[in-house]
Amino acid sequence: MNRRDFIKNTALGVGAVTLFGSRAFNVHAGEILPKKGKRVVVAGGGFGGATAAKYLKMMDPKLDVILIEERASFISCPVSNLVLVGLKEMKDITFSYSTLAKKYGISVLNAKILAIDPVSHKVETSKGSVAFDRLILSPGVDFIYDNIKGMDARSQELFPHAVKAGPQTIQLTQELKAMKPGENMVMSIPEAPFRCPPGPYERACLVANYLKNNKKGSKIIVLDANQDVVSKAKLFKAAWKDYYEGIVEYHPDSEVKEIKAETRTVVASSGEYVGAILNIIPEQKAGSMAFMGGLMPQGRRWSPVSALSFESSVHKDVHIIGDATDGDVIGSMPKSGFVASTMGKAAAASVMAMLAGKEPVSPYLANTCYSMVNEREAIYVTGVFEYDPQTKKIAGKKAAGGVSPERSVLLGHQAEDWAKGIWSDTLG
C-alpha cells in the first residue's frame, strides 16, 4: 500500500473525505523545497548533470539550482577499469557532492526520481515533489536484457556489466581476484551505440595485463557484436598483439544470444564460450528517467532533443543531455563523460538564455578520452563538435577528430591528469 492509498483508505475509514478535499488525492508525498524565484532542477548527477548545475551557478549565483541524484556520492566510470585490476581503489574514483553545495550553493537532493510532469513543471522524487521552471535531465544509460535468453534477474546479478561504476565494479574486481590460474573471463560487447566506446577494449587490455602478471594460463575472451573494434581500433589491436598475444582472444561479429548460468556458457552467433567469469555488457538505452512523463516517443530508446538547446523534442522546458541523447537526431557523438560534460555546459548556457526569454545559444562540444593499455601507457581519441544551422545538427570537425599516433608513457601521465581535470571541473 502506498501513501496515496493510505490517505484514501484512512480518509474513507474515518468518513472524513471532505477534510482532505479532492486535491489531497493528487498529492503524493507533498511538495518540498517550495519555489520562490526562477528555478532550474537538474536530475541526474553524473558528468552531464553535475557540470550543468555547477555552470548554471557560475553564470548566476542567485539562480535557484537543485541537483537531484539518487546516489550519495559520485562514482566515476572513467578510471573504473583500473579499479578492476587493482591499480586503483574505489575510494580513488568516489567523490562527494559537498563542494557543489558549499562552494556554489547548489541544493543537492539525495533522492530517487519517481515521475516527471513536464506540463505542471514538477518532478516527483522519493522525498517529495519539486517544482521547476526548466528541467535538465542527465539520465545516463540503462540496459536491455530482453534480447539475451536466460539473462533473468539472477543472471543479471551473477554476470555483471560493470559499465556503471559502483557495486558491479567491486563484484568484478573480487571475481578476478578469486579466479584460478588457467580459468578464463568472457566479456561481451553489445552493438554500438553504447556508453564509453573504448571502455570495453581498455578493459580487455587491463584485464589481460592483470592475467599476464597474476593468473598464468588464463585469458580474456572478447565477444564483440560489432564487426570490428568500435574505437581506437588500430591502437588497441596493436597492444593486444604486442603485449597480450594468446591472452586476449578477440571475436568480432559475435552477438550474445543466450546465457546458460549453470554451466557459465555464453552462446554467441560465432559459437559457445565458457568462462569462470562472465562479464556481459548488454545493449543500452537511455536511463529510466528519460522514459518518464511521455518524454520518450514510442519505440525509441534514445531521447530526441534539439541539437541547439538540448530541449526535448516532445516537451518544452525540459532539456536532456549526455549519453541518453539520440545521435540520429542531434548528430553522432561518442557517449562519453567528456561529451556529456560539454553538453552540460552548453545546455546550461541555453537554459540561462531561455529563462530570460531569449533564443538559445550555439553549443560548443568536445571530446577527449584516454585509454590505458597497461599500467603505464595510454592512447587517446579527440573530437571537436559544433552546431550547423543548415542541417540543425551537431557535426564533428573532421581535422580535429582522430587518435594518438602511438601509445606512450607521457600519455599515461596525461590520462591520469585528464581524470583529475574532469573530476575537478565537474565536482570541484
Partner 1 sequence: MQGRVFMAVVFLLYAASMAIAGVPGDGERLAETCTGCHGTKGASPGNYIPVIGGQHAGYLKKSLVEYRDGLRPGGVMANLAKGYSDGQIDDISKAVASWKWKNSPIKSAFKGKKLAVETESCVACHGKKGEGSADTPRITGQSPGYLKVVLQEFSDGKRKSPEMELIKGVAATELDKLVIFYTRK
Contact indicator for 282, 258 with CB cutoff of 8 Å: no
402 touching partner 1, by CB under 8 A? yes
What is the rounded distance in angstroms from the CA atom of residue 411 to the CA atom of residue 241? 20
**What is the per-residue binding string for partner 1 in 42-61, x denoting contact by CB under 8 A?**
------------xx--xxx-
What is the rounded distance in angstroms from the CA atom of residue 166 to the CA atom of residue 146? 23
Which of 13/357 has CB closer to partner 1? 357
Dmax over CA atoms of the chain, in Å, equals 78
Give me Rg for the CA atoms of the chain: 23
411 touching partner 1, by CB under 8 A? yes
366 touching partner 1, by CB under 8 A? yes
Closest among 43, 49, 41 to 340, alpha carbons compared: 49
94 touching partner 1, by CB under 8 A? no
Q: How far is the CB of 364 from partner 1 (least distance, A)?
A: 5
Contact indicator for 142, 113 with CB cutoff of 8 Å: no
Q: How far is the CB of 382 from partner 1 (least distance, A)?
A: 4
Binds partner 1 (CB under 8 A): choice among 341, 371, 372, 373: 341
What is the rounded distance in angstroms from the CA atom of residue 9 to the CA atom of residue 6? 5
Q: How far is the CB of 342 from partner 1 (least distance, A)?
A: 5
400 touching partner 1, by CB under 8 A? yes
Strands 283-286 and 141-144: antiparallel
Binds partner 1 (CB under 8 A): choice among 291, 345, 347, 374: 345
Binds partner 1 (CB under 8 A): choice among 68, 235, 259, 352: 352
Contact indicator for 394, 388 with CB cutoff of 8 Å: yes
Binds partner 1 (CB under 8 A): choice among 97, 244, 338, 387: 338
Binds partner 1 (CB under 8 A): choice among 184, 279, 325, 368: 368
CA distances to 93, 173, 198, 337, 390 from 80, rounded to whole Å, are 7, 10, 13, 13, 40
285 touching partner 1, by CB under 8 A? no
Which of 171/362 has CB closer to partner 1? 362
404 touching partner 1, by CB under 8 A? yes
What is the rounded distance in angstroms from the CA atom of residue 10 to the CA atom of residue 13? 5
What cell was used for 297?
Answer: 516517443
What cell was used for 339?
Answer: 561529451
16 touching partner 1, by CB under 8 A? no
**What is the per-residue binding string for partner 1 in 233-252, x denoting contact by CB under 8 A?**
--------------------
CA distances to 57, 100, 125, 351, 358 from 36, rounded to whole Å, are 16, 21, 19, 18, 22
Strands 265-268 and 271-274: antiparallel
395 touching partner 1, by CB under 8 A? no
Binds partner 1 (CB under 8 A): choice among 158, 327, 361, 393: 361
Which of 145/364 has CB closer to partner 1? 364
Query: Segment contacting partner 1 (CB under 8 A): 2-10, 132-140, 233-241, 392-400?
Result: 392-400
Strand partners, 371: 379
What is the rounded distance in angstroms from the CA atom of residue 331 to the CA atom of residue 356? 27
Which of 51/209 has CB closer to partner 1? 51
Residues binding partner 1 (CB under 8 A): 54-55, 58-60, 338, 341-342, 345-346, 349, 352-353, 356, 358, 361-362, 364-366, 368, 380, 382-384, 386, 397, 399-402, 404, 410-411, 413-414, 416-418, 420-422, 424-425, 428
